[in-house]
Amino acid sequence: MKPSPPPEEARRTPAWFLRPPLLLAVLVLVALFCTQRCTGKREEDLSRSRIIMGTVVEITVLGKTAGEASAAIDEAFAVMARIEALMTPHDPASDVARLSGALSALEVSAETAEVVALGERVAAASDGAFDMALGRLKELWGVEGEAPRVPTSAEIDAALEGTGVGDLIRDGQTIVKRSPDLAVDLGGIAKGYAVDRAAAVLRRAGVKSAAINAGGDIRLLGDRNGRPWRIGIQHPREDGRLLATLSLGPTAVVTSGDYERYFEVGGVRYHHLFDPATGYPSRRCQSVTVVAESAALADALATAAFVLGPEGGLRLLEKFPGAEVILVAADGSRHVSPGLQGAVTWP
Ligand code: ADP
Ligand code: MG
Query: Which has the minimum average pLDDT: 36-40, 42-46, 185-189, 264-268?
Result: 36-40
Q: Are residue 104 and residue 218 in the same domain, yes or no?
A: no
Q: Are residue 236 and residue 300 in the same domain, yes or no?
A: yes
Percent of residues, the chain, with pLDDT higher than 90: 86
* 74 occurs within a structural domain: no
Q: Are residue 248 and residue 332 in the same domain, yes or no?
A: yes
pLDDT tier for residue 95 given thresholds of 50, 70 and 90: very high
pLDDT per residue as tens digits for the range 197-222: 999 999 999 999 999 999 999 999 99
Q: Are residue 316 and residue 236 in the same domain, yes or no?
A: yes
Domain around 97: 87-177
* 201 occurs within a structural domain: yes
Which residue, of 177, 211, 234, is where some domain finishes?
A: 177
Q: Are residue 172 and residue 197 in the same domain, yes or no?
A: no
Residues with Cβ within 6 A of ligand 1? Answer: 129-132, 134, 138, 185, 187-188, 191, 215-216, 256, 261, 272-274, 276, 299, 302-303, 307
Q: Are residue 200 and residue 301 in the same domain, yes or no?
A: yes
* 315 occurs within a structural domain: yes
* 166 occurs within a structural domain: yes
Which residue, of 177, 207, 228, is where some domain finishes?
A: 177
* 62 occurs within a structural domain: no
Distance CA 233, CA 171 (A): 38
pLDDT tier for residue 144 given thresholds of 50, 70 and 90: confident
Percent of residues, the chain, with pLDDT higher than 70: 88
Q: The dihedral of CA 254, 185, 270, 164: what is its sign?
A: negative
* 76 occurs within a structural domain: no
Which residue, of 177, 206, 221, is where some domain finishes?
A: 177
Distance CA 197, CA 295 (A): 9
Which atom of ligand 1 sits closest to the CA of residue 274? 20
pLDDT tier for residue 145 given thresholds of 50, 70 and 90: confident
Which atom of ligand 1 sits closest to the CA of residue 192? 6
Summary mean pLDDT of the chain: 90
Q: Are residue 121 and residue 201 in the same domain, yes or no?
A: no
Give the pLDDT confidence score for residue 44 in this predicted structure. 81
- If you take atom 16 of ligand 1, which residue's CA is the nearest one? 187
Those residues with Cβ within 8 angstroms of residue 99's Cβ, 6 or more apart along the chain or in another chain: 106, 108, 112, 175, 177, 184
Mean pLDDT of 166-191: 97
Tell whether the model's pLDDT for residue 190 goes beyond 90.
yes
Which own/partner contact pairs does 159-167 have at CB distance under 8 Å and 24+ positions apart? 159/134, 159/279, 160/276, 160/279, 162/133, 163/131, 163/133, 163/134, 163/137, 163/276, 164/128, 164/131, 164/276, 165/123, 165/124, 165/127, 165/128, 165/131, 167/131, 167/132, 167/133
Tell whether the model's pLDDT for residue 8 goes beyond 50.
no
Mean pLDDT of 320-335: 98
Q: Are residue 111 and residue 206 in the same domain, yes or no?
A: no
Q: Which pTM does this prediction carry?
A: 0.89
* 306 occurs within a structural domain: yes
Query: Which has the minimum average pLDDT: 33-37, 62-66, 141-145, 340-344?
Result: 33-37
Residues whose beta carbons lie less than 5 angstroms from ion ligand 2: 188, 256, 299, 302-303
Tell whether the model's pLDDT for residue 25 goes beyond 50.
no
pLDDT per residue as tens digits for the range 30-85: 443 333 443 445 678 999 999 999 999 999 999 999 999 999 999 999 999 999 99
Structural domain count, the chain: 2
Q: Which ligand is nearest to the CA of 164?
A: 1
pLDDT per residue as tens digits for the range 106-130: 999 999 999 999 999 999 999 999 9
Q: Are residue 162 and residue 114 in the same domain, yes or no?
A: yes
**How many CB atoms within 10 Å of residue 121?**
14
Q: Return the CATH number at 149.
A: 1.10.3980.10
Which of 185, 193, 273 has most ligand 1 atoms within 8 Å of CB, for mutation? 273
Q: Are residue 311 and residue 339 in the same domain, yes or no?
A: yes
Phi/psi region, residue 134 (left: phi>0; alpha: psi -120 to 50; beta: rest), is alpha
Distance CA 221, CA 24 (A): 40
Q: Return the CATH number at 212.
A: 3.10.520.10
Distance CA 153, CA 145 (A): 20
Give the pLDDT confidence score for residue 42 in this predicted structure. 62
Q: Are residue 100 and residue 242 in the same domain, yes or no?
A: no
Q: Are residue 167 and residue 207 in the same domain, yes or no?
A: no
